[in-house]
Structure 1
Amino acid sequence: MTQSTVRTTAATAAPSDDFRVMMGSFPTGVAVIAAQDLDGTPRGMTCSSVCSVALDPPTLLVCLREGSPTLQAVLASGEFTVNLLHEDARGLAELFASGDSERFRKTHWERTAEAAGPHLPRHAHTIADCAVALTQRMGDHTTVYGRVRRIRRPSGRPPLLYGLRQFAAWPTTS
């Protein structure tokens, strides 16, 4: 039997800029997390903090900025959609990272009755509809654990990647 303990130390934290550079050098996929407010207003933001948690039940996590309208919509509705972007969706990733309040008017999106949030099928290679299972605040972000209810694959295109402060397509070999 192993025991886990949480140790609190008085040590100082690494500088935020150093941490940002470190994490920016770790390439990752790009997603748009989307939900709808209780009044039906679509909300969404670009996110590279997506991680699988468990296969049974299928669970993933996303990390969303505290105070963002997207996080507020996720918490209020209890559900959200993860749109994993394909290689040609850089413009959409930049739009949803910009804070532009008209982002959903500038792109095609859809929401069916069984969807957990807005789907971006023209820009996503895979879409996951999730129910909020757990949340945990840490610093300026909240980790949202989502039980995956449904997966849709509108495109077989390779994923969009982000690292070293730039977007790239998944390399292919022919």
Structure 2
Amino acid sequence: MSEPLLDSPQTSGAAPPAAPDFRSLMSTFPTGVAVVTTVDPDGRPWGMTCSSVTSITTDPPTLLVSLRHGSPTLAALQQCSAFGVNLLHHRGRSAAELFSSGDPDRFDRIAWRGGILGSPHLLDDAHAVADCRVDRTLSVGDHVVVFGEVLRIERHQPATPRPLLYGLRQYRSWSAADPFEGDTR
């Protein structure tokens, strides 16, 4: 039986980490960058930058995204029960920054078109988009975890994308020249 590496708050009596400490910890774990998009019942587009995206299962193909309570994108997504996950390529940094801002006219500043469920596809900034139907949601703390069944995948150029990454509070791209530095296989 393995021993715990760290005392947990439940066993040590210590308080859980403060939000800034937790954010600092998670900033050391680089992740891909996506923009989650949807439309409201009136057809108005909504979207936000999201690094909390993961695959859940391949049968049926399902993604998980985590959006904060109070987000207008979350509200629209819950009303229409559909969303798109735009996976950004290395030239998509400006879109990532735009969709993490409070700019109310963000869709006027980029090229996009609606996917099969109406959710916007970011034409110049995403190397691929997954169109999803909401399967279920789960409220956890200050976020809502949304499970989406992937109904369609659309790939954009380039054919071999260099994904946009985020870590240590910085955007970077995957180096095509040496993607597996230190790989000893």
TM-score normalised by L of structure 2: 0.86
String of CA shifts for 1:118-171, please: whole Å, max 9, x gaps.
Answer: 111211011000000010011111000000000000122211000000000111
1:28 correspondence with 2:39: no
- Distance 1:169-1:94 versus aligned 2 partners, 3 A rule: same
Shift of 1:85: 0.3
Is the contact between residue 32 and residue 82 of structure 1 (CA under 8 Å) also seen in structure 2? yes
**Identity over aligned residues, as a percent?**
51
Shift of 1:12: 2.9
Alignment map for 1:72-87 (pairs within 5 Å): 72-87=75-90
Is the contact between residue 82 and residue 117 of structure 2 (CA under 8 Å) also seen in structure 1? no
Aligned counterparts of 2:127 and 2:138: Cα–Cα separation in 1: 28
Aligned counterparts of 1:148 and 1:12: Cα–Cα separation in 2: 39
The code of the aligned residue for 1:168 comes to R
1:37 pairs with one of 40, 43, 50 = 40
Shift of 1:96: 0.3
Q: Structure 1 stretches of 5 or more lacking a match?
A: 1-8
Aligned counterparts of 1:158 and 1:124: Cα–Cα separation in 2: 10
Q: Structure 2 stretches of 5 or more lacking a match?
A: 1-9, 179-185
Secondary structure of the structure 2 residue equivalent to 1:73:
helix
2:52 pairs with one of 46, 49, 52 = 49
1:168 counterpart residue number: 172
Is the contact between residue 35 and residue 81 of structure 1 (CA under 8 Å) also seen in structure 2? yes
Aligned counterparts of 2:40 and 2:30: Cα–Cα separation in 1: 31
The code of the aligned residue for 1:24 comes to S
Shift of 1:69: 0.5
Secondary structure of the structure 2 residue equivalent to 1:75:
helix
Aligned counterparts of 2:16 and 2:145: Cα–Cα separation in 1: 20
**Superposed structure 1 runs of 4+ greater than 6 Å apart:** none
Aligned counterparts of 1:131 and 1:138: Cα–Cα separation in 2: 20
1:70 correspondence with 2:73: yes
The code of the aligned residue for 1:74 comes to L
Shift of 1:115: 3.4
Aligned counterparts of 1:15 and 1:30: Cα–Cα separation in 2: 25
State the number of aligned residues.
Answer: 166
The structure having more radius of gyration, on CA atoms, is 2
1:148 counterpart residue number: 150
